[in-house]
A and B are shown apart, each in its own frame.
Chain A
């Protein structure tokens, strides 16, 4: 397993350098450079332009620029943003990255969880109106014109029902005059959730050591999750940042749900067809012949095996979530990587565009790697060999 993963990791590294190369040369294939924007300005003499070119390093030959770029990238040096001069691109991206990660992760988890559950159920109760309507709904969610769908959702839940705020990350009215920084509160939120998850994982491990009985195990697990959830809620309820934390969470909900809704359709359809394939296998028949309860056949025999192709498709869903995430961020004015990318592009801020695109590439890469790791965990054939 370690060998498999190292090989995969190396492969991905090579692919990533190739990706960086393509991005770099693609953007440099454009005619002209930043100093051309100053041609029309009579107050800037040609010498000054030359100095600018030298400071920015764009007078060097392309291949040298490429070498410098690659070296700098792996040292975390992404250059300075043109449109937010003199901020570093890495600083700008560093502020936006956690927000995007939360959006992507939350949406993926919600979509995957719900999609798997409902796909499993509709494949099990095959035929009939319910299955048909789920399929039509799933296909509709998968093919709907996403920006339009997000707009309609924003209008409906934000403007008509008034359940959620109309986009943005925080309510500036509320935050005026507070001593808290939105990023600090947000990072604290992430940290608390991560700690809660880690504790839960630890407890699971302990529980599996305590008793071998799966029924008691699942009872303990449920209790543990309730306790941890309660602890998390109590912590934030008593915190002085309660209002602000809730404000951020409230702003996060609608984008996550809308993005999850779209990714949900694909996962559900795929789970359904994977389930249908496994249900035709011989071991399902064997399980039936042994008199195993239907629920156990569905969850333990069929769904477990149907999970494999669905995990593989997580990679494809990832592309969907990344593309959809960028659209979501722009429609909900969510200040993450996606809105950064659009801003960089519309203001012709090439370093910021390259930087954002590369980091999005890194995200995609890590997604692939995580899917691979999940795959090895799920499939004993890979784990053992």
Chain B
């Protein structure tokens, strides 16, 4: 937060405080948390107004909201609507019956089957032109019948929509773990390094250099399968590496700017200890910037997790990456739009959610960095 932004925030607040206090006697009657709450609400309203000026940030928030609804919908649907034996994202199976025509050359795999495949897999006596009912998977989307599959089934007969919704929850969890770990570590490290300076600073910054040097994805390629990383481990690893790495460097430079502000000296003069100054005065002023990196952290975590599970290197039950991995291992990789429900829902879900978090981050960036805002 730049200098003029701070003054802008505090000016109307001074008036507010005056209204609240009405002279010295009233001070004791207004609890501290209430003042804090009002302060928070004021700055929130201001920043919210700035944030909503940018339509992209709002669009991002809306998309995240939709995904959050999807994540909540899954357990509800599983309990009340869907039969777990059929719709379970990992163990479910539905023998969807579909009618296929036997042809020599397949042009549309959803409704046609080659003679060769049909003779091997179904019935050695079928002829070209016959229409037969099969339970071959993956089945295309169906909206009727005993059990409808809006997004079809995967090569193992599992409902794609159920997998998609289940994975949304996993993605949110991973993003939250990675982002919160990043922010907690990075704000602490950045503030401590800036406050103490000297050797503490050097140690943390050299460590950050080392992490920045480390090619993260290749390292996780090796570590993931060898240690059988789960979602929780992965989130923590990404969070810790980001927290001690690049984000710590950015937040340290921000903390350095905060450190020289008069109120830090005032706090010290008033007898505040090191811990008090760092956690009560520096950290709260670094936090807005760290929230920004939290958003970018979520984007990164989702991308890394999906890539790793795309290659089948993680120990996870079901994620978007794993859905594409299933399509890959079963040989539907280059099927393109013919089996669109295998590749597109999962791929788009990863891309769109990462996109949403990223543009929310950019919107927040414009709130924090006034120079980025559109002129006029």
Distance (whole angstroms) from the CB of B129 to the closest CB of chain A:
27
User: In the complex the two chains form, is B372's CB within 8 Å of A322's CB?
Assistant: no
Closest residue of A by beta carbon distance from B338: A155
Interface presence of B222 (CB below 8 A): yes
Distance (whole angstroms) from the CB of B363 to the closest CB of chain A:
11
User: In the complex the two chains form, is B222's CB within 8 Å of A19's CB?
Assistant: no
Q: Which of A181-189, A200-208, A233-241, A323-331 contacts B (4 or more CB under 8 A)?
A: A323-331
User: In the complex the two chains form, is B334's CB within 8 Å of A154's CB?
Assistant: yes
Q: Is the interface of A mostly helix, strand, loop or mixed?
A: helix
User: In the complex the two chains form, is A160's CB within 8 Å of B336's CB?
Assistant: yes
User: In the complex the two chains form, is B226's CB within 8 Å of A148's CB?
Assistant: no
Interface presence of A126 (CB below 8 A): yes
> With the chains together, A330 CA to B217 CA distance in Å?
13
Question: Number of contacting residues on A, CB 8 A?
Answer: 62
Interface presence of B32 (CB below 8 A): no
User: Which residues of A lie under 8 Å from residue B303 when comparing CB positions?
Assistant: 143, 145-146
Q: Is the interface of B mostly helix, strand, loop or mixed?
A: helix
> With the chains together, A334 CA to B108 CA distance in Å?
30
Digit string of B3-36 for contact with A (CB within 8 Å is 1, else 0)?
0000000000000000000000000000000000
Distance (whole angstroms) from the CB of A237 to the closest CB of chain B:
33
Q: Which of A172-180, A253-261, A288-296, A340-348 contacts B (4 or more CB under 8 A)?
A: A340-348
User: In the complex the two chains form, is B336's CB within 8 Å of A364's CB?
Assistant: no
User: In the complex the two chains form, is B215's CB within 8 Å of A323's CB?
Assistant: yes
Chain B interface size, under 10 / 10 to 19 / 20 to 34 / 35 or more: 35 or more
Q: Which of B149-157, B161-169, B268-276, B307-315 contacts A (4 or more CB under 8 A)?
A: B307-315
User: In the complex the two chains form, is A146's CB within 8 Å of B307's CB?
Assistant: yes
User: Which residues of B lie under 8 Å from residue A26 when comparing CB positions?
Assistant: 222-223
Contacts A142-B358, A148-B343, A345-B225 given; indicate if A15 touches B299 (C-beta within 8 A).
Answer: no
User: In the complex the two chains form, is A145's CB within 8 Å of B306's CB?
Assistant: yes
User: In the complex the two chains form, is B336's CB within 8 Å of A148's CB?
Assistant: no
- Residue in B218, B320, B351, B355 with the greatest tally of chain A CB atoms within 10 Å: B218
> With the chains together, A341 CA to B226 CA distance in Å?
13
Contacts A151-B343, A152-B347 given; indicate if A326 touches B334 (C-beta within 8 A).
Answer: no
Interface presence of B219 (CB below 8 A): yes
> With the chains together, A357 CA to B221 CA distance in Å?
9
Interface presence of A190 (CB below 8 A): no
Interface presence of A268 (CB below 8 A): no
> With the chains together, A276 CA to B371 CA distance in Å?
8
User: In the complex the two chains form, is A323's CB within 8 Å of B371's CB?
Assistant: no
Interface presence of B324 (CB below 8 A): yes
User: In the complex the two chains form, is A326's CB within 8 Å of B299's CB?
Assistant: no
**B347's contact among A126, A145, A323, by CB below 8 Å, is which?**
A145
User: In the complex the two chains form, is A30's CB within 8 Å of B227's CB?
Assistant: yes
User: In the complex the two chains form, is A140's CB within 8 Å of B324's CB?
Assistant: no
User: Which residues of B lie under 8 Å from residue A322 when comparing CB positions?
Assistant: 215, 217-218
Q: Which of B38-46, B72-80, B175-183, B206-214 contacts A (4 or more CB under 8 A)?
A: B206-214
> With the chains together, A27 CA to B227 CA distance in Å?
9
Given A15-B210, A361-B213, A368-B213, 9 other A-B contacts at CB below 8 A?
A: A139-B358, A140-B351, A147-B307, A148-B343, A148-B351, A154-B334, A319-B215, A338-B218, A345-B226
What are 29 A-B residue pairs whose CB atoms fall within 8 Å in the complex?
A15-B206, A18-B210, A27-B222, A140-B355, A143-B303, A144-B354, A145-B303, A145-B307, A145-B354, A146-B303, A151-B347, A152-B347, A280-B371, A322-B217, A323-B218, A326-B218, A344-B222, A345-B221, A345-B226, A346-B225, A353-B222, A357-B218, A357-B219, A360-B218, A361-B213, A361-B215, A363-B215, A364-B215, A368-B213
User: Could you tell me which B residues sit within 8 Å of A by CB distance?
Assistant: 56, 206, 209-210, 212-219, 221-223, 225-227, 246, 299, 303, 306-307, 310-311, 313, 320-321, 324, 333-336, 343, 346-347, 350-351, 354-355, 357-359, 362, 371-372, 374-375
Lowest 9 A-B CB distances belong to which pairs? Answer: A148-B347, A323-B217, A145-B350, A143-B354, A155-B336, A143-B355, A144-B351, A147-B310, A145-B351
